[in-house]
Structure 1
Amino acid sequence: MKNKKILIADDDLNIIASLKYMLSEENFDILAMTTPEAVLENLKRESVDLVLIDMNFQQDTTSGSEGLQLVEAIQQFDESLPIIVMTGWATIDIAVDAMRAGAKDFIQKPWNNERMLSAINTQLKLVSIDKKLNRLNQENKLLRSQSFPESTGIIAQSLAMKTLLSSLEELAQSDMSILLTGDNGTGKSMLAAYVHQRSSRADNSFVPVNMGAIPESLFESEMFGHLKGAFTDAKENRVGRFEMAEQGTLFLDELANIPMAQQAKLLRVLEDQKFEVVGSSKSLNADVRIISATNCDLAKAISEQQFRQDLFYRLNTIQLRVPSLRERIEDIEPLANHFLQSFSGKYNIVAPELSLEAIDKLQQYTWPGNIRELSHLMEKLLFTCKKTTIGGRDLLLENIHHSASELDEDSDDKLANNSSLSLDEIEKLSLINRLKHHRGNATETAKSLGLSRSGFYRRMSKYGLD
């Protein structure tokens, strides 16, 4: 745990020496200044956790006016920074004025060590609680705005998944960066959460971010946060994803969709382990574990100068491929039953059973949408199948399989002329077709369809392909 940093300001060097000795013994890091100007100049460059200042400096030894002006200036600079004031000329009026100006506590000289330490620790705890509440509020907003699976109940009866989970169990004990590759819908986000929950960072936040869904103009604000007034629409302070994930795990999904200009900014943070909030010149520590995921061929993207090789090396400490659903046949039946029971509880509907014929058809299907497609199918069957047992025909996989087999570069017209398909099914299969044509590159696929990246991802999410 990093030591808390306290800035002391007093024009008496003996006072500074005494405070330094006492506070260093309590494992605080100390910065010492002798003038208000030095305090403000230092706060522009360095982050501190608390300010302890005298109310009277050399120009004025009794009224406390210099101290009050300094408190107000610090408040304008950073209103969340706790300030404790001290003076040898203590009066009720000075104490009240200091608290009104923004000070959090008032200490009279000569001080009592226990009282001083109690005041400092109390303010540091209050700031920590406020930061956690603010972070949790913003995390809750983030989680409400996106659908994100939990990592509980991972089903792994197939050898491929058992091998992968065994590797992830071992890697969870380290802090190394992990790159998960594989098709869309294979559960990469769930596996990232699985690693976090088994790591030493499990008590802190797991923060997922879909890199393809962040507008380029808002990249720094989303990732690093911003201060109120930093730009036109900055109505309030915003906590960025790196700060949310402090001492936890940051999951970068759809990694290949980060624009080149923003890749350099991300690389700098990962190399320096520091970042600046937009609107601030102070550096904050980035103590986060990075797990990233992509369905893109990053080697190809690097050769085409669409992805930075140095960023790839930074994120690719170890790379693991998540198998597609068609590569884990043994997991299809238990996954299907899991989804049926899960949706049964959600909607309070008795779940039908899968017949042997239905299981056989599920295991023969190619599952281009992988686990998400299976989940959506089971949810739909809960409402469309009115029998106690789901038969092979109830799955309606014949038409889908037939259409999927025709997915080539000229298949759009065939899909449109297939009278057995709904408009949604045509759109979904067209998306799959175009993604295959562009080898999973979401940016190129969106361009070819005339869609913005956000519009493309909304459609992907609609059909469980995101």
Structure 2
Amino acid sequence: MTDPASQPTVLFVDDDADIQSAARLLLTRRGFCVLAAHNAAEALTRVAADPIDLVLLDLNYAPGATTGAEGLALLRDLHALRPALPVIVVTGHSGVAIAVAAMREGATDFVMKPWHNERLVTLLHDTLDRQRREARPETPQAETGEPVLIAVSQQMRAPIALADRIAPTRAHMLLSGPPGSGKTLLARRIHARSGDAQPPLLLDADGLSALPPGHGTWVLRGIEALTSPLQRALADRLDGTAPPRVLALSALGPEELAARLPPRLWLPIEAVRISLPPLTERPDDIPALAAHFLHYFAIRHGLAEPVLDAASLDALRLRPWPQNVRELRAAMERMVVLGDATTPLSADDERAHDNPTLAQSERTLIEAALRRHGFNVSHAARDLGLTRPALYRRMARYGL
């Protein structure tokens, strides 16, 4: 009997349940452990949380899609998350041309649907054998805080696409956004897609007493906290013949940041400016992020994974999240550890005498917004990030 610990783990990304079942039946009989993902967000969660050895990647997930654009975007995300992870593209409708494009994006190989069983199994074994021979040590994902950007909304996909386009250059970049919005993760992604084999140097400006040597990539958090002497020193370094690449991070807006930095430093840093929105401005990402963190922490802590119903997800979308994704991450870990999807999501809730459910929290938020705006539904809806019809539906649900 095969030892499960010795079985290579294959993640198969495909929206077709029948094809998933056929692949699982074939590969488990041939000594593989098979995990399934039906879309990009599920795939990224799996790769972040589970010990994946190889990915089989279909290129289309939405009904009727044939362009392969979804799969190519996911391939770029996977490469940024784990550059050495082998990915074999599975293509049918998209054809050979898209498979070749996937190879240019970093895919290891491709196979056409319907596949030949023996050839597919041989390809998997050959790919894994080659991977073992060429493997470079990788930091386990669980040790690095699952550095993965989950982005479903256009509000996040647009800045990520810009970052991906600029990443292969040596251009300095300013990544701005509120605390917990994902600036450091985006900086890591940029470096992963830059082609630089050396790890980036992570620096906190408020703790720096001197600039480090070298000219690699510097991820400089809170650049506005640099002292005046260090601002001048960094400007001098950037004017040199072999400057470091600086990915500057700040929670300040451009005008406030420009007022704090000398023009010699500000102008090269802000040449490429990417702004990340707060979580409340990208509510479509919240269900995917919540699912990602619930699965990740269930694996990490060895506990059951809670399931959020529609009302709970609606309540999550309505929360203000002042610390953005960082706060949502902490809330989902608390749910996993305490084992209840209705667990309170803030310290104030935990201290309350009666523990409210997420639905009760949603009603409280709506009531508070209505009172704050004198029961003007249009203003309250805008404050909550909802359309007026969506707010009216919730008001009817809770008898408001």
Bigger CA radius of gyration: 1
Give the alignment's TM-score, normalised by structure 2.
0.49
